[in-house]
Amino acid sequence: MRTTVRLPDDLLAQVRRYAAETHRTLTQVIEDALRAALGRRKGAQKRRPVRLTTFRGSGLQPGVDLDDTASLMEVMESGDAPPRR
């Protein structure tokens, strides 16, 4: 679809430079910027908290940190699970 967009000269110059530096078209850069702006807007909407269901036990085992993927992978690959409660 074609449309006309009015941009300040300095902004258009910045976008053209960025497009050239990244080997993309002006249209691609503008599309990406619009998608990013709309994505931030969606992310700001309130979401219900997620409740994860666990089976057999009462949650994570001691010593398991889901934010530390390297140590989590090490535990999973070695088979040496932390002691159960």
pLDDT in tens, 34-56: 999 888 876 566 677 888 776 77
Tokens of 43: 């992310």
Which tokens belong to 78? 């070695």
- Domains of the chain, by residue range, sit at 9-43
Find, among 48, 32, 49, the residue nearest to 40 by Cα. Answer: 32
pTM of the complete model: 0.48
CA distance 16 to 22: 10
Positions in the chain short of pLDDT 70 = 42-46, 54, 57-59, 61, 79-85
